[in-house]
Structure 1
């Protein structure tokens, strides 16, 4: 992938690593188009001390430019945050359940933490928000990483056990369930990070989701998803289940017809074909990747870019949705789409461009079930810390004051105006 255009490659660059590509099913239960915003537990909750990423943040020489710390304290402030999301006009909230909280030690599940997430789900329902829940959003319990994480052949059974416990306790409150966020995403393993983390945990097999041997981990990730889906469906057959994929709109350059097409197939087809057994595919798109005769084309100096060096290209969403629908044959839920920028006017233009592309997909008959924007709030963006601003709502972390940006009101007004129409409406 291009180091210029992909936000994930920015993380890889910080480490000096290369980005590695990585029976009948039920239809989605709700006919209503979802208009939502998203967060992830580690990026907003704060105090995720039992997770592998928290450990990596603390290591000497860590590549993380900030520590997540209290984040935006969403763990304690979720009621006000969810009420704000609803007031802005949205109909859905995507968030993740933190495995490291729910199962802090192997086989020991926390009823208190399960009750916390039950309160979040109930809060969503009270405010008219359909919860889209992710079981794994990049972070794992420290004990799981120390056992080899997704490089461990026993991981599918362990992950399915966790999924089953969550769904048994909370499944009646969940609207849509994503097992694994951006299941296809990973970076080459960092020997220095693995060594430091192994020393800290006393393990010789420490491996995290983002920094793993992909030749080993990615087939196991797919097996984890399949095992979790089976366990979930045994408990709640009607609950829509899928995973989400990181997808750039991979295109041919004019002087290299077919090169981008071939790269796109190599990057995504195995994941989209595996999703044919799912109820939906979660598409997560930020930009495009143009492929020339020698590989990804580098951006020209005059190309508009985001804070992460991405090309500002909102139409990318149309390309990825079309491709995901074609290969998988499944309904599409846009589970992330957004732009990292301090320029909120640019964010508004990006949103409008992305929705125009998505509307064209629907007019062409593609089964798109919803649009979930990344992100609800400015938050912790992994190795890049708190500098990139993806949020519709600004957060003063000194006071934890939330301030909706004009883009929040803009997208919220669109959601409010159009959420009451029937699913069959072709207009976004």
Structure 2
């Protein structure tokens, strides 16, 4: 039988949830994702989970659960549907959303790029074109800071910086749907720079800035040279660019020459990351880890303990940088499984803190069930369903946030 234990969390520990505009509001008609859906490459997102009309209720529910931070994205394609043309109603709606969060006692964190782009920006070449980053993106970041900075309590500029280029330019199913190694390297370089440059500007608002890198625990299942080589390659591609730029001011993207940007060293107040799965490597091939893990509906092994591996490795690489768990969750309609996975993830986090790792917060993905990109609405991640029924799993977070209670039961 599971036993609950008192776990003291650090003062000021951040308890939050995360969501994105496209997933919770539906694709913006002026976005590349809207066209992607209409071309048959992804399910139709519709109105998402109707967040645009139910945000007051959503914030009230989250506040009652003791989850006092919420990350959302401000959809570029909604506020600037044509280059240089701003939609006053969309801007007013986002300000209303941010103010409603404040009124409910919730600190809103804002993301500027969560996978989607205005179609006009994509049509200009997106992040393949240097000028688009150095001029158009920079102008957009300035506009966001000036227009919403008085209401935003924290920034997470770009979602999963290290994943976007792979998803869009290496056959990952995201627009523009390319599979070009060289283009992927160019965009990876650009999006890392765009993220860090945005962080420097957004810090001027006085609110903390965190990264969001998508990280998987990497575990060698044998000691063959091919296995060790594969892990080294994954690290160079997925881990090292973001860590190196923050720590050393040098961006190293495989396939591109190193870029020295000392002005970007230390650009984040917190190193944030998302965690969903471990990645086993055997005989040089990617395999499930643990080998006998329960498989999630999205096809990866369910292993909360991998979160601890990432926390240890980040602490070793960035010993003086506070860490933020920016996304942690599981896509499943089995809320009992979600509760167990969440329980173990919280215990792993607390164990890492006890080892001396400076973890500042925990954002659950997500608050309300929403649209899951290529999977449509079939894979729910929320602690609240689309009808706004609070799930049992929400109680796991509530107990941790309000009383420090975490169940000791361990799952794979």
TM-score w.r.t. the length of structure 1 is 0.80
**Is 1:53 aligned to 2:33, yes or no?**
yes
Q: Which residue of 1 aligns with 2:73?
A: 96
Preserved CA contact (<8 Å) 2:383 2:390: yes
Task: Using the TM superposition, give the Cα deviation of residue 230 of structure 1 relative to its aligned residue in structure 2, in angstroms.
Answer: 3.3
Task: Using the TM superposition, give the Cα deviation of residue 223 of structure 1 relative to its aligned residue in structure 2, in angstroms.
Answer: 1.9
Task: Using the TM superposition, give the Cα deviation of residue 82 of structure 1 relative to its aligned residue in structure 2, in angstroms.
Answer: 1.1
Q: Which residue of 314, 321, 325 corresponds with 2:315?
A: 325
Q: Which residue of 1 aligns with 2:295?
A: 305
* Cα distance in 2, alignment partners of residues 109 and 345 from structure 1: 45
* Cα distance in 2, alignment partners of residues 133 and 87 from structure 1: 21
* Cα distance in 2, alignment partners of residues 191 and 226 from structure 1: 25
What is the RMSD computed on CA atoms of the aligned residues?
Answer: 2.7
**Is 1:357 aligned to 2:335, yes or no?**
no
- Map 1:213-232 onto structure 2 (within 5 A): 213-232=183-202
* Cα distance in 1, alignment partners of residues 44 and 378 from structure 2: 12
Preserved CA contact (<8 Å) 1:48 1:100: yes
Give CA deviations for 1:122-154 in whole Å, capped at 9, x if unaligned: 111121212121111111111111111111111
Task: Using the TM superposition, give the Cα deviation of residue 32 of structure 1 relative to its aligned residue in structure 2, in angstroms.
Answer: 1.4
* Cα distance in 1, alignment partners of residues 27 and 287 from structure 2: 40
Q: Which residue of 1 aligns with 2:285?
A: 295
**Does the residue aligned with 2:280 lie in a helix, a strand or coil?**
strand
Q: Which residue of 7, 10, 16 corresponds with 1:36?
A: 16
Q: Which residue of 2 aligns with 1:403?
A: 389
Q: Which residue of 402, 416, 422 corresponds with 2:402?
A: 416
Preserved CA contact (<8 Å) 1:250 1:289: yes
- Map 1:233-312 onto structure 2 (within 5 A): 233=203, 235-236=204-205, 238-256=206-224, 258=228, 262-266=232-236, 267-276=238-247, 277=266, 278-298=268-288, 302-312=292-302
- Map 1:5-84 onto structure 2 (within 5 A): 32-46=12-26, 48-59=28-39, 62-64=40-42, 66-84=43-61
Task: Using the TM superposition, give the Cα deviation of residue 81 of structure 1 relative to its aligned residue in structure 2, in angstroms.
Answer: 1.0
Deviates more, 1:329-338 or 1:112-121: 112-121
Preserved CA contact (<8 Å) 2:277 2:300: yes
* Cα distance in 1, alignment partners of residues 66 and 97 from structure 2: 18
Task: Using the TM superposition, give the Cα deviation of residue 324 of structure 1 relative to its aligned residue in structure 2, in angstroms.
Answer: 2.5
Cα distance change of structure 1 residues 214 and 48 upon mapping to structure 2, 3 Å threshold: same
**Is 1:372 aligned to 2:363, yes or no?**
yes
Task: Using the TM superposition, give the Cα deviation of residue 46 of structure 1 relative to its aligned residue in structure 2, in angstroms.
Answer: 2.5
**Is 1:131 aligned to 2:111, yes or no?**
no
Task: Using the TM superposition, give the Cα deviation of residue 258 of structure 1 relative to its aligned residue in structure 2, in angstroms.
Answer: 4.5
Give CA deviations for 1:60-82 in whole Å, capped at 9, x if unaligned: xx231x20011111112111111
Between the two proteins, the alignment pairs up a number of residues equal to 370
Preserved CA contact (<8 Å) 1:150 1:220: yes
TM-score w.r.t. the length of structure 2 is 0.83
Deviates more, 1:276-285 or 1:323-332: 323-332
Task: Using the TM superposition, give the Cα deviation of residue 297 of structure 1 relative to its aligned residue in structure 2, in angstroms.
Answer: 2.5
Preserved CA contact (<8 Å) 2:230 2:284: no
**Does the residue aligned with 2:274 lie in a helix, a strand or coil?**
strand
Q: Which residue of 2 aligns with 1:114?
A: 91
Cα distance change of structure 1 residues 232 and 208 upon mapping to structure 2, 3 Å threshold: farther
**Does the residue aligned with 2:363 lie in a helix, a strand or coil?**
strand
Preserved CA contact (<8 Å) 1:46 1:74: no
* Cα distance in 2, alignment partners of residues 289 and 192 from structure 1: 17
Give CA deviations for 1:160-202 in whole Å, capped at 9, x if unaligned: 21111111121122121011000000236379989xx8xxxxx
Task: Using the TM superposition, give the Cα deviation of residue 243 of structure 1 relative to its aligned residue in structure 2, in angstroms.
Answer: 2.2
* Cα distance in 2, alignment partners of residues 72 and 212 from structure 1: 37
Q: Which residue of 2 aligns with 1:14?
A: none
Cα distance change of structure 1 residues 283 and 126 upon mapping to structure 2, 3 Å threshold: same
Cα distance change of structure 1 residues 176 and 298 upon mapping to structure 2, 3 Å threshold: same
